[in-house]
Structure 1
Amino acid sequence: MTDTPRSIVRRTPWPDTVSRAVGTPLQPSVVYASESPDQLDAQYEGGQGYTYAREGHPNATVLAQKIDGLEGATAGIITGSGMAAISAGLIGALKAGDHVVAADQLYGRSLRLLTQDLPRLGIVADFADPTDIKAFSAAIRPQTRLILIEVVSNPTLRVADLEGIARVAKERGILLMVDNTFTTPRGLRPFEYGADIVVHSVTKILAGHSDVTLGYIAARDETLREAIRQAVVTWGMTPSPFDCWLAERGLYSFELRYDRAEQNAAALADHLASLSGVKQVLYPTHPDHPDHNRAGILLNGRGGHMVSFELHGGRAAANALTRAAPNIAFAPTLGDIGTTLSHPASSSHRALSEGERANLGISEGFFRISVGIEDIDLLKEEFEAAIKAAENV
């Protein structure tokens, strides 16, 4: 019996090669070795190299740089989820006593963060209609430090008066933070309109395959950017190298996927509007959308890949619809390469009371569709059959 070589526990250096990998290598290492304390000091003080994965790793850097290019940003940061990105932005920018004005139509967890979690840290928020600049301006206080909006709201697809809100924020010295997950940089780049902070749930259409959980945040100001980075590191909002690697691979097809999904969404919205079982359809380019004119200007005539609609019936009709569409994933997500269907009353906005949901236009018959890249005729057939089943309840 031979002894195990003593060197077996020593790390093997990465092979040198005159060629380079076409695909990005996956680097799962948690820690990185330096040659001396002086070098480690230089790394921390100069921000060069990697030390510990919670503070950054190569796969996160590569992914951030790619999204930076899409958003026209500098030194964006990848986080463990979209909510981590939003949380890091708020924690990094705000302190006890600060006030936030937020859009009254936001993702459900964003609403919870602002109404239940941040108040425990001494940060309070008021909510206003982002499509009404007068109402939004009236909500601002002397203590208001930050405004948070989604360009296109989740799930009712209202289009914020981004230009008006950005103008007011600049005039009053208030930070503007924009969640650009729905719109994506393919539809709009918020920094070009005066945003100070831009966030994404990379989990969604940027990665596009429902197999990663990641977020992204970028800030215009370097000091603010560093404060956000410190929040990410301290609060442990670390992204997985494997998820970053998968998301980067997904990004290569992002523009192709987005354009095809958007084309499908416009056609599906038209079809849904023609069906007798549908009470209303919400899609930004539709003439009957309440923000149609603003959407045409702000989004350059692009409607995006999201469609919302409401059935005439309530929960019974909603149950019948999902059961009659087994090949359309009924799941609380969006941005997958395939079409998914979400019911806000039982998922993203379930924490709100029935009255609060009604004020937002979310009934038991309200659905949000994240349209994928399938054959459009197949999608029309499947939704038509499902809606007919809901009518018969």
Structure 2
Amino acid sequence: MRPDALPESASRPVVTPLSPSVVYASDTPDMLDQQYDGGLQGYTYAREGHPNADVVAKRVDRMENAPHMGVLTGSGMGAVSAVLLGLTETGDHVIGSTQLYGRSLRMMTEDLPRLGIATTLVDAGDVDAVRAALRPETRMVLVEVVSNPTLRVADLEGLATLCREAGILLVVDNTFTTPRAIRPFDWGADIVLHSLTKLLAGHSDVTLGYVAAQDEALNNRLRVFAVTAGLTPSPFDCWLAERGMLSFDLRFDRAEQTAACLADHLAGLPGVARVLYPGRADHPDQARAAHLLAGHFCNMVTFELRGGRAEANAFTRAADGLSFAPTLGDVGTTISHPASSSHRALTAEKRAELGMSEGTFRVSVGLEDPETLCAVFSQAIAAATGG
């Protein structure tokens, strides 16, 4: 039996309806053929697409200036997987930044080689190093605009030129920076991806990813792989993400302003060895950040506490009201410790090469009152370092 039709209404809902249906019924086999062939717009099976996913994808498309409707996935790593596994094959070579998100690094260093896909990690701010890593079989370069967790800024302009000349794909993870700060397609990126879980959704209650390609054929390949691999996003997560995105600009701007205040405050505390924030004059990539990010230096701050693991433990215990959690982009400020979370798989020596120590913390600044937030950090750092 068919379900009862929805009651007719001369008005329409203000909020996008949630559509949890797994399957959608067509009237005839001919109609179903037309839907699959593209002659009719319609949904068939939720793994292949559903209304809530399309609503969110189109919203991110507008933000990113994407030429084709992007693909929503069940997580940010789903988007990374769609690119690295859906667009490469045995014998290919992929170049990645040395400071990608931890699970992206794991896929680059463990999973791709297992499948016969070679990888090389280089400094994304050094175009000559990337050029030196190129091989005839190189398929793509994967970078984040601002790295995790040392907030180094990729030479996106130089990389786009290099990739275009070499005939390879430039893939940009725009999760940290978001389209509020930069639209990588406008700078020559071929593929842009996001963990919508973070700043765009913004409330730590959604797990979702997004990926879109400049080229329509590549975009279709990404979509087909995502459907085949079952990278399907939940309608409920999409519905929540749309709600969160309605306030994104306001949240981003407020958190960014507070992050700049916090970075300056931390730099003046005796228990802090150094502070990394792209908007500060002492950041090694400040000029590049100003050029690429149009004055938006984002909400992430990294600092190094004086001392080691004992001081790090003392700091998190004393940071009342702050969540010590391996995430970012929430309305509340969260603190992350790379040595015990995102980069725990690396040796201490390797972390040191990348600029991380046991005292390194990454802060995702939220919407708290700036003075209150600075006071919390002052007290926690003093408690940890004896200041």
Give the TM-score normalised by the residue count of structure 1. 0.97
Q: For each residue in 1:129-180, what CA deviation from the matched residue of structure 2 results, as whole angstroms up to 9, or x when unmatched? A: 1111111111111110100000000111000000000000000101000000
Match of 2:3 among 11, 14, 28: 11
> What is the CA distance between 1:43 and its match in structure 2?
0.6
Report the equivalent of 1:27.
Answer: 19
Pairwise mapping of residues 177-256 of structure 1 onto structure 2 (< 5 A)?
Answer: 177-256=171-250
Match of 1:88 among 72, 82, 85: 82
| Count of residue pairs brought into register by the alignment | 385
Match of 2:64 among 71, 80, 85: 71
Report the equivalent of 2:97.
Answer: 103
- For 2:63 and 2:15, the matched residues in 1 are separated by 20
Report the equivalent of 2:45.
Answer: 52
SS of the counterpart of 2:217?
A: helix
Letter in 2 for 1:51: T
Q: For each residue in 1:106-133, what CA deviation from the matched residue of structure 2 results, as whole angstroms up to 9, or x when unmatched? A: 1110000011111122211101111111
Report the equivalent of 2:301.
Answer: 307
Letter in 2 for 1:49: G
- For 1:263 and 1:243, the matched residues in 2 are separated by 28
SS of the counterpart of 1:290?
A: coil
Report the equivalent of 2:251.
Answer: 257
- For 1:147 and 1:13, the matched residues in 2 are separated by 50
Report the equivalent of 1:39.
Answer: 31
- For 2:307 and 2:174, the matched residues in 1 are separated by 32
SS of the counterpart of 2:302?
A: strand
SS of the counterpart of 1:68?
A: helix
> What is the CA distance between 1:269 and its match in structure 2?
0.2
> What is the CA distance between 1:10 and its match in structure 2?
4.8
> What is the CA distance between 1:300 and its match in structure 2?
1.8
SS of the counterpart of 1:122?
A: coil
> What is the CA distance between 1:301 and its match in structure 2?
2.5
Q: Does the 8 Å CA contact 2:175/2:198 hold for their aligned counterparts?
A: yes
Unaligned residue ranges in structure 1 (runs of 5+): 1-8
> What is the CA distance between 1:352 and its match in structure 2?
1.4
> What is the CA distance between 1:56 and its match in structure 2?
0.4
- For 1:102 and 1:275, the matched residues in 2 are separated by 35
- For 1:337 and 1:177, the matched residues in 2 are separated by 28
SS of the counterpart of 1:86?
A: helix
Match of 1:141 among 135, 143, 150: 135
- For 2:41 and 2:341, the matched residues in 1 are separated by 42
Q: Does the 8 Å CA contact 2:320/2:376 hold for their aligned counterparts?
A: no
- For 1:10 and 1:84, the matched residues in 2 are separated by 34
> What is the CA distance between 1:201 and its match in structure 2?
0.2
Letter in 1 for 2:300: M
Letter in 2 for 1:57: H
SS of the counterpart of 1:17?
A: coil
Pairwise mapping of residues 362-377 of structure 1 onto structure 2 (< 5 A)?
Answer: 362-377=356-371
- For 1:22 and 1:304, the matched residues in 2 are separated by 31
Letter in 2 for 1:67: V
Q: For each residue in 1:45-85, what CA deviation from the matched residue of structure 2 results, as whole angstroms up to 9, or x when unmatched? A: 11721000000000000000000010001211110000000
- For 1:160 and 1:10, the matched residues in 2 are separated by 54
Q: Does the 8 Å CA contact 2:201/2:248 hold for their aligned counterparts?
A: yes
Report the equivalent of 2:311.
Answer: 317
Letter in 2 for 1:136: V
Q: For each residue in 1:329-367, what CA deviation from the matched residue of structure 2 results, as whole angstroms up to 9, or x when unmatched? A: 000000001100000111111111212211111111000
Alignment of 1:169 onto 2:159: no
> What is the CA distance between 1:289 and its match in structure 2?
0.6
> What is the CA distance between 1:326 and its match in structure 2?
2.6
Alignment of 1:381 onto 2:348: no
Letter in 2 for 1:143: E
Q: Does the 8 Å CA contact 1:330/1:340 hold for their aligned counterparts?
A: yes
Unaligned residue ranges in structure 2 (runs of 5+): none
Q: Does the 8 Å CA contact 2:323/2:333 hold for their aligned counterparts?
A: yes
Letter in 2 for 1:266: A
Letter in 1 for 2:41: Q
- For 1:95 and 1:49, the matched residues in 2 are separated by 32
- For 1:37 and 1:191, the matched residues in 2 are separated by 40
SS of the counterpart of 2:304?
A: strand
Give the TM-score normalised by the residue count of structure 2. 0.98
Report the equivalent of 1:5.
Answer: none
Moved more, 190-199 or 89-98: 89-98
Q: Does the 8 Å CA contact 1:92/1:224 hold for their aligned counterparts?
A: no
> What is the CA distance between 1:259 and its match in structure 2?
0.2
Q: Does the 8 Å CA contact 1:91/1:228 hold for their aligned counterparts?
A: no
Q: Does the 8 Å CA contact 1:71/1:185 hold for their aligned counterparts?
A: yes
